[in-house]
A and B are shown apart, each in its own frame.
Chain A
Amino acid sequence: MKTCLVVDDSRVVRKVARRILESLDFEIIEAVDGADALTVCRGAMPDAVLLDWHMPMMDGLEFLKRLRKEPGGEEPAVVFCSAENKAERIREALDAGANEYIMKPFDGEIVVAKFDEAGLL
């Protein structure tokens, strides 16, 4: 079973994402911000990361930059999931190593399509 780390400071979003991704047969790990997520990744790299942008402690972009410098940190497919919907900001996330990008609000169908694009299904 593939693992997906869901990183979002909103419990509601984590819950919604968990429900969608579990239906796609992912085992879910949750993290509440970038610092928390980095700790998880240092323990064991997940196959996928669904990543919010704006979070307390460490934001999604900072987490992504640090993740890609970790040993094995190139491996996980990272799908950003953010209300940050400006083209310039999206490009910034891709340049930092994101594989795909979901603009909030989203639904299950979009998550499936984007995970498929990222080669995760």
Chain B
Amino acid sequence: MNAPDLDFLCALVRARSGLMLTGERGFFVETRLAPLARREGLASVSEVIERVMREPSGALARAVVEAMTVQETAFFRDRQVFGALASTVLPALGEAKPTGLRVWSAGCGQGQEAYSLAMLVDEADRPLPPIEILASDLSTAALEKAQAGIYTHFEVQRGLPIRRLLRHFEELDEAWRVSSALRQRVRWMRLNLIDPFRVDTGYDLILCRNVVSAFAPDARVTTLARLEQALAPGGRLVLGAGEPAPDGFEPVVGSPCVFARSGEHQIIIAA
């Protein structure tokens, strides 16, 4: 792939999704767009780029951006984080707000994070208040897969202990499907985090993991500010491993990757 093509593509992806491509960009672009070229019946990745250049607002451009943003992920990625959510964070939030909790998985990809949360809720020792889970992503293809809840043998073995698989999934021919009880817990929505979006405010728990750290600095700041607006008073924000606390937030002691607004932290602990 030639340098002008690559630069064009990186600029497009950055403008449309906030994502900043780094490292082996050429290789990354080839591996992401080759399947797309095949699907569209185009001869090569170069031909895909040529068409996008001619029609940068078209459906193909959108598909290109989406293909670049989706990440492979696992169920219960970063187990300690889910451990803390189950043992401390969700019970504390539930006690503070027994009428019901709202959870948002922002940048949910193929749904593993949202379903992992739904499993935790289902398995809770002490019943939690009713929990509404919203899961959003930029990629329509990822959302379709997430909503169907169908995963291959390989995918269900990434992060999912066998007992959880048996408890929460049913077999399909060569795959596994999330139980309908779990699927009914999650509401899916296409949302670009860098567009001026309108989601309801009042989310008690927002997970946005391994998303903003790949963003360009301006997109990162804007997105975090919007997440902050959507977070209820006393709410918790969960970021990916190694992602720093946003301005105005501080880490919750004992819960890795979990943040509270500065000054709010002690209140919930005391409750």
Please state if A113 and B162 are interface contacts (CB–CB under 8 Å).
no
Closest to A101 in B: B162
User: Which residues does chain A contribute within 8 Å of B171, judged by CB atoms?
Assistant: 85-87
Known A100-B161, A113-B159, A117-B161; judge A107-B154 contact (CB<8 A). Answer: yes
Return the CB mask of B163-192 against A: 1 if under 8 Å, else 0: 101100011000000000000000000000
Which residues in window 79-108 of A have CB below 8 A to B? 85-87, 90-91, 94, 100-103, 105-107
Candidates B157, B163, B166; contact of A110 at CB < 8 Å: B157
Counting CB contacts under 8 A, is B158 at the interface? yes
Cα–Cα distance between A101 and B161 once the two chains are bound (Å): 8
Q: Does B54 contact A (CB under 8 A)?
A: no
Q: Do B153 and A94 touch across chains, with their CB atoms under 8 A apart?
A: no
- Which residues on A sit within 8 Å (CB–CB) of B158? 109-110, 113
Instruction: Name the CB-closest residue of B to A83.
Output: B153
Rounded to whole Å, the gap between the CB of A65 and the closest CB of chain B is: 18
Q: How far in angstroms is the closest Cβ of chain B from A7?
A: 18
* A23 to B156 CA separation, bound complex (whole angstroms): 23
A91 touches B161 (CB 8 A): no
**Chain A residues near B170 (CB, 8 Å)?**
87
A-side contacts of B154, CB under 8 Å: 105, 107, 110
Whether, in the assembled complex, A114 has its beta carbon less than 8 Å from a beta carbon of chain B, the answer is yes
Contact between B161 and A102, CB atoms less than 8 A apart: no
Could you tell me which residues of chain B, from 203 to 249, have a CB within 8 Å of some CB in chain A? Answer: none
> Using Cβ atoms and an 8 Å threshold, which residues of chain B touch A105?
153-154
A117 to B158, CA, bound (A): 11
A residues less than 8 Å from B161 (CB atoms): 100, 117
A87–B167 CA distance with the chains assembled, in angstroms: 10
Given A86-B171, A87-B171, are A113 and B166 also a contact pair (CB < 8 Å)?
no
Instruction: Assess the A91–B153 pair: CB atoms within 8 A.
Output: no
Residues from chain B with a CB closer than 8 A to the CB of A103 are 153, 157
Q: Mark B116-157, 1 if CB is under 8 A from A, else 0.
A: 000000000000000000000000000000000000011001
| 7 cross-chain pairs, A with B, having the tightest CB-CB distances, nearest first | A101-B162, A110-B157, A117-B161, A103-B153, A87-B171, A100-B162, A87-B166
Other than the given A87-B171, A113-B74, A113-B159, 18 more pairs (CB < 8 A) read A85-B153, A85-B171, A87-B166, A87-B170, A90-B166, A100-B162, A101-B162, A102-B157, A105-B154, A106-B157, A109-B158, A110-B154, A110-B157, A110-B158, A113-B158, A114-B157, A117-B161, A117-B162
